[in-house]
Amino acid sequence: MAAPNTRTLLMILLMTWFGLLAAPAAATAPEYSIKAAYLYKFASFIEWPEGIFPHADSPLVIGVVGDDELADELSRVVVGQQVNGHPVQTRALQAGDPLTGVNILFIGNVENELLAKTLAQAKEHAVLTVTGSEERYAQGSMINLMVVENKVRFEVSLQPVEEAHLKISARMLSAALSVVRSPR
């Protein structure tokens, strides 16, 4: 029997990774642990515009606003990790904090007015925005994490992704529960 090619192995690995993360949340880990793993893994499938990272070894920063428990878990998940040569760091933020240097931002429980300001601010910095509720996703975030049939899944809205000059790998899009091409 012939050995599988590299592309086949990558696809199997990708499907396994996202399949494991989509396992029932209650049976494998608390929901926030799975969401933290998703936030870290998303970084591998995003292409940022030229110049976002000043140096080849500049950190990739994942910020969290409005969800201290997730920020704490994410800090544990990324210890010692790298994505494409960039050491991964986390930053717990308060609503209204500057987003300079943040590459991925999870927006948890913040007031709607602050949500709108945070999303607008993120657009200025080519930040991948992730939310955890349908309502917030509808207001313009790029990715929404949700629990469907006791599994953490995600959906993607391409318009804000394109407006921020980000690119999401087709492999990640194929693992999404849904991909919305135009505004809701």
Which CATH number does the domain housing residue 25 bear? 3.40.50
* 69, part of any domain: yes
* pLDDT on residue 184: 52
Answer whether residue 55 is part of any domain.
Answer: yes
| pLDDT above 80 for 102 | yes
Q: Is residue 1 part of a domain?
A: no
Residue at 70 is within a domain? yes
Dihedral class, residue 8 (left if φ above 0, else alpha if ψ from -120 to 50, else beta):
alpha
For residue 149, is it within any domain? yes
The distance of Cα 103 from the centroid of its chain, to the nearest Å, equals 9
Q: How many domains does the chain have?
A: 1
The predicted-structure confidence for 28-49, as pLDDT tens digits, reads as follows 357 889 999 999 999 999 999 9
Contact 154, 176 (CB under 8 A): yes
pLDDT in tens, 53-92: 999 999 999 999 999 999 999 999 999 999 999 999 999 9
Confirm whether 106 is domain-assigned.
Answer: yes
Domain range for 42: 6-180
